[in-house]
Amino acid sequence: MLIVDCLTVWVNNELHHHGVVDAGGVALALTQRIGPSVVITNEVGLGVHPETELGRAYRDELGRVNQAVAAVATKTLLLVAGRALRLGDPWKSSHDLLVEALATMPSGDGDAADAVRARAADILRPAGRWPVG
Protein backbone atom coordinates (compact mmCIF):
# COMPACT_ATOMS: atom_id res chain seq x y z
CA MET A 1 0.00 0.00 0.00
CA LEU A 2 1.19 3.50 -0.87
CA ILE A 3 0.19 6.37 1.40
CA VAL A 4 0.83 9.91 0.16
CA ASP A 5 0.52 12.36 3.05
CA CYS A 6 0.05 14.91 1.73
CA LEU A 7 -0.45 16.39 -1.73
CA THR A 8 -0.79 19.85 -0.20
CA VAL A 9 2.82 19.86 1.02
CA TRP A 10 4.06 18.17 -2.16
CA VAL A 11 2.45 20.84 -4.38
CA ASN A 12 3.96 23.55 -2.18
CA ASN A 13 7.43 22.01 -2.50
CA GLU A 14 7.12 21.51 -6.27
CA LEU A 15 6.07 25.13 -6.76
CA HIS A 16 8.81 26.40 -4.47
CA HIS A 17 11.65 24.35 -5.98
CA HIS A 18 10.55 23.97 -9.62
CA GLY A 19 7.86 26.59 -10.24
CA VAL A 20 5.50 24.03 -11.83
CA VAL A 21 3.50 20.96 -10.87
CA ASP A 22 2.67 18.07 -13.20
CA ALA A 23 -0.87 17.21 -12.07
CA GLY A 24 -1.38 14.74 -14.91
CA GLY A 25 1.88 13.00 -14.12
CA VAL A 26 0.83 12.42 -10.52
CA ALA A 27 -2.51 10.97 -11.61
CA LEU A 28 -0.87 8.79 -14.25
CA ALA A 29 1.70 7.45 -11.78
CA LEU A 30 -1.10 6.45 -9.41
CA THR A 31 -2.94 4.56 -12.15
CA GLN A 32 0.17 2.68 -13.27
CA ARG A 33 1.22 1.29 -9.93
CA ILE A 34 0.10 -2.09 -8.64
CA GLY A 35 -1.64 -2.13 -5.28
CA PRO A 36 -3.84 0.27 -3.38
CA SER A 37 -2.98 3.93 -2.87
CA VAL A 38 -4.29 6.36 -0.28
CA VAL A 39 -3.75 10.02 -1.11
CA ILE A 40 -4.34 12.70 1.51
CA THR A 41 -4.74 16.35 0.62
CA ASN A 42 -6.36 19.54 1.88
CA GLU A 43 -9.16 21.53 0.29
CA VAL A 44 -7.86 25.10 0.31
CA GLY A 45 -10.49 26.58 -2.02
CA LEU A 46 -13.29 26.67 0.56
CA GLY A 47 -11.69 29.25 2.84
CA VAL A 48 -10.72 32.87 2.66
CA HIS A 49 -9.71 34.17 -0.76
CA PRO A 50 -5.90 34.45 -0.74
CA GLU A 51 -4.71 38.06 -0.67
CA THR A 52 -1.52 37.54 -2.67
CA GLU A 53 -0.99 36.43 -6.25
CA LEU A 54 1.25 33.60 -5.01
CA GLY A 55 -1.46 32.43 -2.60
CA ARG A 56 -4.07 32.40 -5.38
CA ALA A 57 -1.70 30.53 -7.73
CA TYR A 58 -1.04 27.93 -5.02
CA ARG A 59 -4.75 27.48 -4.32
CA ASP A 60 -5.51 27.05 -8.02
CA GLU A 61 -2.64 24.63 -8.64
CA LEU A 62 -3.57 22.48 -5.65
CA GLY A 63 -7.15 22.45 -6.95
CA ARG A 64 -5.94 21.18 -10.33
CA VAL A 65 -3.85 18.45 -8.70
CA ASN A 66 -6.74 17.43 -6.43
CA GLN A 67 -9.07 17.22 -9.44
CA ALA A 68 -6.60 15.12 -11.44
CA VAL A 69 -6.11 12.66 -8.59
CA ALA A 70 -9.84 12.49 -7.82
CA ALA A 71 -10.56 11.78 -11.50
CA VAL A 72 -8.54 8.54 -11.37
CA ALA A 73 -9.57 7.51 -7.85
CA THR A 74 -12.01 4.68 -7.28
CA LYS A 75 -13.26 6.36 -4.11
CA THR A 76 -13.02 10.00 -3.07
CA LEU A 77 -13.86 11.15 0.45
CA LEU A 78 -14.11 14.61 2.02
CA LEU A 79 -13.63 14.62 5.78
CA VAL A 80 -15.63 17.26 7.63
CA ALA A 81 -16.10 17.42 11.40
CA GLY A 82 -14.75 13.90 11.75
CA ARG A 83 -17.22 12.50 9.20
CA ALA A 84 -16.33 11.05 5.80
CA LEU A 85 -18.55 12.23 2.96
CA ARG A 86 -18.29 10.26 -0.27
CA LEU A 87 -17.84 12.48 -3.30
CA GLY A 88 -19.14 11.52 -6.70
CA ASP A 89 -20.10 12.92 -10.06
CA PRO A 90 -23.24 15.02 -9.47
CA TRP A 91 -24.26 14.51 -13.10
CA LYS A 92 -24.51 10.75 -12.77
CA SER A 93 -27.78 9.33 -11.55
CA SER A 94 -28.06 6.59 -8.96
CA HIS A 95 -29.08 4.34 -11.83
CA ASP A 96 -25.84 5.07 -13.72
CA LEU A 97 -23.76 4.44 -10.61
CA LEU A 98 -25.54 1.17 -9.91
CA VAL A 99 -25.11 -0.02 -13.51
CA GLU A 100 -21.38 0.85 -13.33
CA ALA A 101 -21.00 -1.01 -10.04
CA LEU A 102 -22.71 -4.08 -11.48
CA ALA A 103 -20.56 -3.97 -14.60
CA THR A 104 -17.35 -3.99 -12.56
CA MET A 105 -18.48 -6.66 -10.09
CA PRO A 106 -16.78 -9.97 -10.90
CA SER A 107 -19.14 -12.82 -11.63
CA GLY A 108 -19.29 -15.85 -9.39
CA ASP A 109 -18.39 -14.06 -6.16
CA GLY A 110 -20.84 -16.08 -4.11
CA ASP A 111 -24.08 -15.44 -2.30
CA ALA A 112 -23.37 -11.81 -1.36
CA ALA A 113 -22.72 -10.78 -4.97
CA ASP A 114 -25.79 -12.69 -6.14
CA ALA A 115 -27.89 -10.91 -3.51
CA VAL A 116 -26.60 -7.53 -4.66
CA ARG A 117 -27.37 -8.35 -8.30
CA ALA A 118 -30.89 -9.54 -7.37
CA ARG A 119 -31.59 -6.36 -5.38
CA ALA A 120 -30.25 -4.23 -8.24
CA ALA A 121 -32.58 -6.03 -10.63
CA ASP A 122 -35.53 -5.25 -8.33
CA ILE A 123 -34.56 -1.57 -8.29
CA LEU A 124 -33.86 -1.17 -12.01
CA ARG A 125 -36.57 -3.33 -13.64
CA PRO A 126 -39.63 -1.28 -12.59
CA ALA A 127 -38.13 1.79 -14.22
CA GLY A 128 -37.41 -0.18 -17.40
CA ARG A 129 -33.73 0.56 -16.99
CA TRP A 130 -32.18 -2.88 -16.55
CA PRO A 131 -28.90 -2.86 -18.47
CA VAL A 132 -28.71 -4.99 -21.57
CA GLY A 133 -26.13 -7.76 -21.63
Q: What is the pLDDT of residue 13?
A: 93
Number of domains in the chain: 2
For residue 109, pLDDT beyond 60: no
Q: Are residues 107 and 127 in the same domain?
A: yes
Q: What is the pLDDT of residue 35?
A: 86
Q: What is the CATH number of the domain that holds 17?
A: 3.40.50.300
Mean predicted confidence (pLDDT) in 4-16: 92
Task: List, for residues 22-80, the tens digit of each pLDDT value.
Answer: 888 888 888 888 888 999 999 888 888 999 998 999 999 999 999 999 888 888 888 98
Count the helices and strands in the chain (H runs, E runs).
5, 4
Q: What is the pLDDT of residue 130?
A: 47
pLDDT band at residue 98 using 50, 70 and 90 as cut-offs: low
Q: Are residues 79 and 69 in the same domain?
A: yes
Q: Are residues 60 and 31 in the same domain?
A: yes
Best CA proximity match to 65, nearest among 128, 8, 2, 131: 8
Q: What is the pLDDT of residue 45?
A: 85
Q: Are residues 83 and 130 in the same domain?
A: no
pLDDT band at residue 89 using 50, 70 and 90 as cut-offs: confident
Domain interval for residue 47: 2-87
End residue of a domain, out of 53, 68, 87: 87
